[in-house]
Every structure is written in structure tokens, then in C-alpha cells.
Amino acid sequence: MLEITDLHVSIEGREVLHDINLVIRDGETHVMMGPNGSGKTTLLRAIMGFGGYTVTSGSIVFNGENVTEMPLHERAKRGMGMLYQRPPTIAGLKLGKLLDVTAKERADQIPTLATELNMDRFLERDVNAGFSGGEIKRSEVLQLLVQNPSFVMLDEPESGVDLENISLIGNATARLLEKDQHIVHRTKSGLIITHTGYILDYIDADFGHVLCDGVFKCHGNPREILKSIKTHGYQECIACQRM
Amino acid sequence: MPADVDDLKDLSEEDRNRLELAGLDMGMGERSGSFFQVDQEIRHVHSGTEGIEVLPIDEALQRYEWLRDYYWNAVDKEKDRFTQYVAKQEVQRGFAIIARKGAKAVYPLQACLYLADAKVQYVHNIVIAEEGAELHLISGCVSSSGTVAGAHIGVTEIYVGRNARVTSTMIHNWSESISVYPRSATVIEEGGIFLSNYVCMQPVRHIDMNPIATLKGKDAVARFSSIVVGLPGSELDLGSRAVLKAPGCSAEIVSRMITRGGTIISRGEIRGEVAGTKGHIECKGLILEDGLIHAIPEIAGLVVDTELSHEAAVGRIARDEIEYLMSRGLDEETATATIIRGFLDVKIRGLPETLQRQIDAAIDAAEAGF
């Protein structure tokens, strides 16, 4: 699904990600952990193709196609999707209208999906205007369910979400990633940034990665990595040379 | 009375389309009355609602002596050279709409002022909603596609009686060579509600208007909204003023402006003269191409218990908003147009659905040019 090779990314002339290598196969879910400011969001945004994130060397190959220089919306059209940690507010644009213009084959499912995510009352509200933390995440997941990407990147899906909403968002995320399907039949893949690991209770992640100072420091079993971080903090990861 | 507006059948297809874009319903399906004036000639006058009269102004002044009390009352005839010009005309044109006590129009009344060949079109309109009456007026001001140059001068005096409700929706569809000078004033009595909506998405040479609402009675409400696009060569000097003169009165002025190279001056003024009053001004502007958006919100409070506020913002579309939509699969052009359409989407509380649809249609028609 996704193959990142020797990727270096700069923001305003300063290199933020160094020599990133990552392979995510069809049906796999990967989680990424790391201290604040380590470059996790930058990596997601560079994969998605946001402006201001300059790939100085290396490549991003998505479903066999080199997308390194491809515009953002072309990557979205090819099946990439992203859940924002802090999405912008768009005054005047109604959530329902946004769903209508971005929906393709799932347009007829909008009312059902909105109800399931408890967002039906928000369709006539301006996108993200005055939404609480949980409402923002429900809105993001709803948009992704309607967009139906084959590869989703989730930037801290559980941050700012209360316990009641965690299960709603966790289960919806599992649905985004087709977790109800056997790995053999599952086609959707994901890359998830998490600090708390709560999301792991809803999705069985296959691989974990630790990013520190723009470099991958560790790859392995996500739960074991999380346990180690909870016990020892990121210091061990930073010191660790095991790759 | 004609059931539809066939008095304008001599107009070209293109001009009929321009009229429809300005809110004119040729079939009269969702209109309860209408008035059409082409240059200085009144072509059609009709009211289909009991208790509501639509008359040419000169006829109304002859028929009702008491109307003189309302004539040049809200607007001062010496205000400026435009009011003076209208006042000195021997033959008066324009309409009088009178909604008697308790009369309610289910559908809007439409007034069309069409500038075809005349150098100057002038009108003097009076709208009176007596106690408890309800009127929804849609005025389409349009120039012929073939008009070379001209000016439209319109004096409009609106009187909203006790607990009456008047909405006035004006859609302008002029052309690059037309200058427009509306001079409007509204007086609102106790419990009266006045909503004014202005839409101008098409080119015009110059518009200069700054209507004023005087909220005289307790708990009167005035809301102004304007949605305008400044195209290259257009100069729009627009404003709205509200004077709060009784306890419980409130006013709101909302404007959305886009410049594509034109000049827009957006004035707003609310004056709180007595305690227990509230007012808010919201001006938002998007600069899509170099031009000018000059927002001048003014609030003046004269007493302790008046609450007035304003917010104004002028800028470009935030890049993160465009990219947000692009990450959902929209190309940059579509993402930008979607955001602009949202920016202009001001839903006006209390406006009949049919008029909101008309406003939406006028904006949608211009959307291709975003």
C-alpha cells in the first residue's frame, strides 16, 4: 500500500525528518509514538502532500505509484485520507454540504453514518465552529467514512475526547480500517499517531514505531513499545540503537 | 388583473433572464403582488392579497391625503443632491405599498425597477405596514443588457408599525455603466421588526447607499445583511445605520464582501441612545484580487446600559482551509469556490424560505466567477 524510502523532509529550509523508511502493506495498521515535536504530524502531512513540507530526497510510493510530487487532492483521490488533530473552522460552510461535495459512492449513506456517529444534529452547523473536542473527532471520522479512503492517517484520534466518545470514535476507527474483516480480505490500512494508546483497545495495530527528533528509533510490537514508554518514558527510545 | 406579467414581453430573452436573476417571478407563482417600472413608465401594478394595496406613488398620494404625512418624512428631501433631484420632479414615479392593520402577505410582493433607455431613472417609494401587518418585499433593480450609461436614484421610506413585520430583500443586477443612488430610511414602532437584505453579485459602476433605521418604539428590531462582490471597475460605497431610541431595541448589521479588483467601502453604524438596547456589527471581507475593502464599523453608546459591539476582518482565504478540503479530494479551484460560497452563506433569521432561495440563487449564479 505505502512505501516510504529514505525520506527527508524540510519545513522552511530546516530539515525535520531524516532518512525515514516505512512500509505499510494492505490491511495493516501501524501506530506511531514519540515525544511532542518529534515530527509525527510532519510525517503524516508530508505523506498527504500538504504545502510547506518539502521532500528534499527520498520517495513516497502509494499503491505502486510514486506520489512524492503529486498534489494533495490527487493523493486524496487515489485513496489517502487524514483525520486532523486540530482541523480548521470554515465559517459558513455547513458540515452537511462538505460531506455532499466530498462524497463519491457513499453519498446515500451520509444520513445513516451521521446518525451512527451522533452527528446528525451537526449537519447544518458550520464545519468545526464551536465543536467540542469529541465533536471535532466525530466530525472527522464521519468525513473519512464518507470519503472512504483506502489508507487513513489518524493524528491523535483520542486527544481531547471524553471516555464516552472514546468508544464511539474507537469503534468507528475500527470500521474505517475494516477491522471486522479478516486480515486476508482486509484492504484498508492505517497509520495512527497516539500518545495514550487508548485507541489500541479498539483496533489491533500490527506494528509500532517510535519517532524521536525526526528519526525512527524503534519498530516493534505496539503494545510492548507503549508499555515501555509508559514505564521508562521516551529517554530509553532516544538512547536505544536497536532498529 | 393579469395573472402573470406579460407586460414585459417586449424584453429580450437575455433581459428577462436578468430580471429573474434579480428575483422577479414572471409567472407570479410565489408572489402576492407586483410593481414594474421601466425607465419612468409604470408597466404593471397588481396586488393579490386582501388588505394590501400596491399603487403607483402619484395615484396613492391623490387617493390618500394622509399619505402626505409619510411622504418625505423618514427621508429628508434636502439630504443631498439626489434627494433634491427626486423632490423637484413634477411627475413622481415609484410605488406605494400599504398593508392595513393585521394584513399578512403569504408570499412576497415584488417590485422591479428596470433601466432600459433613460439616462436617469428616479423613483420615490413608500412602504407602510400598519399595526400587526406583515409584508415581504423583494426589489429587483436591473438594467437592460444594452444600456450604455445611466443612473438610478431611488428614495424609499418604510414605516413599520406596532408589532408589524417588514422584510426588504434587494437584489441588484446592474451593469458596468450604471450608477445607483438609493436613499432609504425606515422607522420602526414598538415591537416592530425590520429585516433588510442586500445582494449585489454583478458589475456596476458606482453604488452609493447608506440606509438608516430609526427604532422608535420599545423592543423594535432591525437587522441588515449585505452580500456583495466588487468586480473590477465597480465602486460600492455601502452602509447601514441603526439608531436605538427605545428600551429593548436591538440592531444587527452583517456584511460579507468579496473583492475581485473592485472597491468596496462597508460602513456600519449603530447608535445606542437609551438604556436596555443592544447592537452588533459584523463585517467580513475576502480579498481575492487586489482591490479595496474598507470596513468602517462604528458604534456609539450614549448611556450606561447600552451594549454595542463590532467585529471586522479583511483578508484572504486561509491556506489551511483550502488544504483541508483538498485533503478530502477536492481540487484547489473547487475547494476555494466551496469556501467562498460558505463565506457568503448568511442565513437571515426570519426571512421567508422563498426569499432565502432567491438570495441563494443570485449567489449561486455568480459562483462560476469565483
**CATH code of the domain containing A72:** 3.40.50.300
Give the residue among B150, B249, B142 at the shortest CA–CA distance from B194.
B249
- With a CB cutoff of 8 Å and minimum separation 6, the contacts of B230 are B236, B257, B258, B259, B260, B261, B262, B263, B264, B291, B292, B293
The helix (H) or strand (E) run that includes residue A144 is helix A133-147
User: What is the predicted pLDDT for the residue at B66?
Assistant: 96
User: What is the predicted pLDDT for the residue at B163?
Assistant: 98
Q: What is the DSSP letter of A132?
A: -
User: What is the predicted pLDDT for the residue at A242?
Assistant: 56
The model's pLDDT over B203-241, given as tens digits with 9 standing for 90+, comes to: 888 899 999 999 999 999 999 999 999 999 899 999 999
Distance from C-alpha of B110 to C-alpha of A129, rounded to nearest angstrom: 36
Which residues of B make CB contacts under 8 Å with A?
284, 318-321, 323-332, 334-335, 338-339, 341-346
User: What is the predicted pLDDT for the residue at A181?
Assistant: 76
Nearest to A90 among B321, B331, B334 (CB): B321
In a domain, B151, yes or no: yes
pLDDT(A174) > 70: yes
Which residues of A make CB contacts under 8 Å with B?
48, 50-51, 71-73, 76-77, 80-82, 84, 87-88, 90-94, 97-98, 101-102, 104, 126, 143, 147
In a domain, A180, yes or no: yes
Nearest to A92 among B328, B332, B345 (CB): B345
Handedness of CA A127, A128, A131, A134 (dihedral sign): positive
User: What is the predicted pLDDT for the residue at A60?
Assistant: 96
In a domain, B68, yes or no: yes
User: What is the predicted pLDDT for the residue at A201?
Assistant: 86
End-to-end Cα, chain B, rounded Å:
42
User: Mind telling me how many Å the CA of A96 is from chain B's nearest CA?
Assistant: 12
Residue B108 CB-half CA count within 13 A: 24
In a domain, B1, yes or no: no
The two most distant CA atoms of chain B are separated, in Å, by 66
Inter-chain touch A93–B334, beta carbons under 8 Å: no
User: What is the predicted pLDDT for the residue at B370?
Assistant: 59
In a domain, A165, yes or no: yes
pLDDT(A184) > 80: no
In a domain, A160, yes or no: yes
In a domain, B321, yes or no: yes
Inter-chain touch A71–B326, beta carbons under 8 Å: yes
Which residue stretches of chain B have pLDDT < 50?
1-4
Q: Which domain holds residue A46?
A: 2-86+150-239
Domain count, chain B: 1
At B167, give phi and psi (nearest 5°).
-115, 140
Q: Starting at the edge strand that comes first in sequence, how are the strands of the sheet with A151-155 ordered?
A: A80-83, A151-155, A189-193, A29-33, A207-212, A215-220
Please state the ipTM of this predicted complex: 0.94
Confidence of residue A123 (pLDDT cuts 50, 70, 90): very high
Q: Are A151 and A1 in contact (CB under 8 A)?
A: yes
Q: What is the DSSP letter of B104?
A: B
In a domain, A106, yes or no: no
User: Mind telling me how many Å the CA of B339 is from chain A's nearest CA?
Assistant: 6
In a domain, A235, yes or no: yes
Give the residue among B215, B278, B280 at the shortest CA–CA distance from B242.
B215
User: What is the predicted pLDDT for the residue at B250?
Assistant: 97
Three-state SS at A82: strand
The helix (H) or strand (E) run that includes residue B335 is helix B332-343
User: What is the predicted pLDDT for the residue at A152?
Assistant: 95
User: What is the predicted pLDDT for the residue at A240?
Assistant: 67
Domain count, chain A: 1
Q: Which domain holds residue B212?
A: 6-367
In a domain, B332, yes or no: yes
**Strand B235-244 relative to strand B212-215: parallel, antiparallel, unpaired?**
parallel
Q: Which residues of A touch B323 (CB under 8 A)?
A: 50-51, 72
Q: Which residues of B touch A98 (CB under 8 A)?
A: 325, 328, 338
The model's pLDDT over A13-48, given as tens digits with 9 standing for 90+, comes to: 999 999 999 999 998 999 999 888 899 999 999 999
Distance from C-alpha of A236 to C-alpha of B10, rounded to nearest angstrom: 86
pLDDT(A185) > 60: yes
Rounded average pLDDT over A183-209: 87
What one-letter code names the amino acid at B95? F
- With a CB cutoff of 8 Å and minimum separation 6, the contacts of A235 are none
In a domain, B175, yes or no: yes
In a domain, A214, yes or no: yes
Three-state SS at A68: coil
Confidence of residue A108 (pLDDT cuts 50, 70, 90): confident
